[in-house]
Structure 1
Amino acid sequence: MPARFARHVRRGAPLLAGAVFLAGCGGPADGAGDEKSARGVTVDNCGTKVRVDRAPQRAVALDQGAAEIMLSLGLADRMVGTGTWTDPVLKGLEKANARVPRLADRYPSFEKVLSVEPDFAAASFTYTLSKGGVASREKFAELGVPTYLSPSDCAGKDNSGDGDGERTEALTLDTVYGEIRDLARIFHVEERGEKLIDTLTARVDKAASAADTSDVSVLYWFANSDSPYMAGCCGAPGVITKELGLRNVFADTHEEWPQIGWETVADRDPDVLVIGDLTRRSQSAESAAQKIRFLESDPVTKNMTAVREKRYVLLRGQDMNPTIRTVDGVEKVAAALGEFGLAR
């Protein structure tokens, strides 16, 4: 989910349903034994060279996105903890996820993470591996624990400001696939990684070919009815927009999740509203039901085209996150366009 989501928490389908799941796979590696598992790997990761001397056996996923990638690679038997959950686990991964201890629903403390004696830690957001999150990469390194940060939150992105960062380059699924390849290489399950990527790619291609839209405008509302967070041009919602040939009415902003007034939203009058159906309770209008009630009662929004036509697409917060769940977002939006009669 967007980094702002994580900060606010801290402060206060068959293939369609989600998956590729290699969760039943076991063993130390793809067709390999101890010799391959002992092989060292060095990965260039968000400006840091990460050296993992041996395939991790006690890994921790500090964000849900990282956890679901690792579980999809069939690594539950090599995980000793997860943290920072914002939605129910991806469909098809329930049994694998139940085998891994949850250290915290929100951010686990550094001490709690260390208590499970990890030999590797992965995170989805820069914030998680910094002050205010779990701990810095340097603190982990001092204790000999290599860390991996999702390149989706650093490649072509400036996180130096107070918000959720600004995209200097549009995110693509290639970056997500690169994360899968990195983790598969670190755990010596490269074949599983390629199988996962192939399946995700096929799902996106199928959804995109079925949508075939023509000049349909869309807006992505993540949270907050008072000062709503809308998606800018180039994050995970931008991937959905591009893959389906849509037009984001706020494509003129490179901020990840800018706060935009309702008068401006109404003026841009999107054809479709993609809204976050969140399970947290830290802001106004978190659930989809709350958002729809607001849209249909507020004098500024109730006459918008998408509201009058009830063209709502409900996504989990994680579906708006730059990870394997973005593919679920592509599929759900594509299916809704067909139901709305907006696909050619």
Structure 2
Amino acid sequence: MSMTPLPFRGRRRAALGTAVAATLLLTGCGAKVEQDTAAGKATVNRCGEPVRYTLPKRTVAYEGGSADKLFALGLTKHVHGYVMPPANPPVTESPWASEYAKVKMLSDDLLNKEVVVAAKADLVVAGWNSGFSDRRGITPQILDKLGIQSFMHTESCFNYPGHPERVTPFEALYTDLERLGKIFRVESRAAEVVAGLKKRVQDVRARAPKGEPVPVFLYDSGTDQPFTAGRQVPPTDIIASAGGRNVFDGLDQRWTQVTWEAVTRSAPEVIIILDYGDQPAKKKIDFLKTSPHTRDLPAVREDNFFVLDYNEGISGPRVIDGLEKFAKYLHTLGR
């Protein structure tokens, strides 16, 4: 994921991660990558398109979500480097900080063809309309012609031209880990990681408050018009699994603009603030407390703000950390 045309693509300080995430790190780093003893090809879907992958040796990851997935699978030795735009939080604050330290930081700008070619990459992992972009001239088709393999986050395939896939955000995360496991011949490790994440989600859902779900508005950015989460991005699954309801889950979109009038009508009792880089949470909360559009909302009157870390809101293992933290927050409301 990346600094895309979406305002959402900034980042804040990454959380240190939960104890469970730390355990995942310790077990993942030591995973041994099975050697490609077969014909050297693994057929895996890239969005809805079957692609034959050779075992990558010089992978380039764009943003934390991509790198985290690879590190969680114990694939550090297969990662040449990463591209991390400046609004992203420091990798030193990641649960996988020690793994980032073992690979190269290739650029602090948007993903582009030049940096990938210069790195002699044999695989690029990124999202559609974030890292990969028609406008910026780096697409899977362009890389195919250069002999460079590509992998796209399934969650971002929702609006990928030609080969879209519609998968709920958490299922998309599991799918990515399973597909990467097949590409890198570590299917058993991928199954273990996915099972652990699913168990954590099930535990949260089992403890979710009963009764009518809490109406929740996610505020990403925007003053003239708010930018928020539609149905097809991870925060909607976070909210629902914890016992809430994204007030804009009826929008069959990913990140999108709405009107302040629509926010007012939704009367959210909780507001999630997506916290990142150049648009810190405090500034956003101050705006919501003073804006005539929002100062009388139930969530604002009760000071019910939950700050969601950027890396806990995009497709990657840390979304489950975000889920557990938000679920704990909902239980404190005593609703």
With the length of structure 1 as denominator, give the TM-score of the two structures: 0.84
Post-superposition Cα deviations, 1:152-185, rounded to whole Å, max 9, x if no partner, equal 111xx2356xxxxxx9956242221111011011
- Between the aligned partners of 2:218 and 2:8, the Cα distance in structure 1 is 19
User: Which contiguous aligned blocks of 4+ residues in structure 1 show a shift greater than 6 angstroms?
Assistant: 6-9
Which residue number in structure 2 is paired with residue 330 of structure 1? 323
Q: What SS is found at the alignment partner of 2:103?
A: coil
Residue 191 (structure 2) aligned to one of 194, 201, 207:
194
Structure 2 residue 37 is the aligned partner of structure 1 residue 35: yes
Which residue number in structure 1 is paired with residue 228 of structure 2? 230
> Aligned runs of 1:280-295 on 2, under 5 Å?
281=278, 286-295=279-288
Residue 300 (structure 2) aligned to one of 298, 307, 316:
307
Alignment check: 8 A CA contact 1:170 1:233 kept: no
Post-superposition Cα deviations, 1:95-120, rounded to whole Å, max 9, x if no partner, equal 00111111122314322211121121
- Between the aligned partners of 2:170 and 2:113, the Cα distance in structure 1 is 31
Q: Percent identity?
A: 27
1:256 Cα offset (Å): 1.9
1:84 Cα offset (Å): 3.6
1:291 Cα offset (Å): 0.9
- Between the aligned partners of 2:280 and 2:53, the Cα distance in structure 1 is 40
Post-superposition Cα deviations, 1:48-74, rounded to whole Å, max 9, x if no partner, equal 332123x21111112321111001111
Alignment check: 8 A CA contact 1:28 1:34 kept: no
Alignment check: 8 A CA contact 2:155 2:167 kept: no
- Between the aligned partners of 1:341 and 1:18, the Cα distance in structure 2 is 30
Q: What SS is found at the alignment partner of 2:131?
A: helix
1:305 Cα offset (Å): 0.8
Q: CA 1:309–1:235 in structure 2 vs 1: closer, same or farther (change >3 Å)? A: same
Post-superposition Cα deviations, 1:107-148, rounded to whole Å, max 9, x if no partner, equal 143222111211211112244223234612122112211111
Q: What SS is found at the alignment partner of 1:258?
A: strand
1:18 Cα offset (Å): 6.7
Q: What SS is found at the alignment partner of 2:204?
A: helix
Which residue number in structure 2 is paired with residue 175 of structure 1? 172
- Between the aligned partners of 1:25 and 1:133, the Cα distance in structure 2 is 37
Q: What letter corresponds to residue 48 of structure 1 in structure 2? A: E
- Between the aligned partners of 1:51 and 1:181, the Cα distance in structure 2 is 15
Q: What SS is found at the alignment partner of 2:316?
A: coil
Residue 101 (structure 2) aligned to one of 98, 102, 127:
98
Which residue number in structure 2 is paired with residue 135 of structure 1? 138
Residue 203 (structure 1) aligned to one of 200, 204, 207:
200
Alignment check: 8 A CA contact 2:204 2:324 kept: yes
Q: CA 1:326–1:34 in structure 2 vs 1: closer, same or farther (change >3 Å)? A: closer
1:203 Cα offset (Å): 1.4
- Between the aligned partners of 1:16 and 1:340, the Cα distance in structure 2 is 25
1:4 Cα offset (Å): 4.3
1:315 Cα offset (Å): 0.6
Which residue number in structure 2 is paired with residue 163 of structure 1? none
Which residue number in structure 2 is paired with residue 147 of structure 1? 150
> Aligned runs of 1:6-45 on 2, under 5 Å?
13-15=17-19, 20-21=24-25, 22-29=27-34, 33=35, 35=37, 39-45=40-46
Alignment check: 8 A CA contact 1:230 1:260 kept: yes
1:24 Cα offset (Å): 2.2
1:297 Cα offset (Å): 1.6
Residue 114 (structure 2) aligned to one of 111, 116, 119:
111
With the length of structure 2 as denominator, give the TM-score of the two structures: 0.86
- Between the aligned partners of 2:168 and 2:305, the Cα distance in structure 1 is 24
- Between the aligned partners of 2:147 and 2:315, the Cα distance in structure 1 is 28
Alignment check: 8 A CA contact 2:82 2:103 kept: yes
Q: What SS is found at the alignment partner of 2:306?
A: strand
Alignment check: 8 A CA contact 2:231 2:253 kept: yes
Q: What letter corresponds to residue 49 of structure 2 in structure 1? A: T
Q: Which consecutive residues of structure 2, in runs of 5 or more, have no partner in the other structure? A: 11-16
Which residue number in structure 2 is paired with residue 164 of structure 1? none
Q: Which consecutive residues of structure 1, in runs of 5 or more, have no partner in the other structure? A: 161-166
Q: What letter corresponds to residue 45 of structure 1 in structure 2? A: R
Alignment check: 8 A CA contact 2:243 2:327 kept: no
Alignment check: 8 A CA contact 2:169 2:237 kept: yes
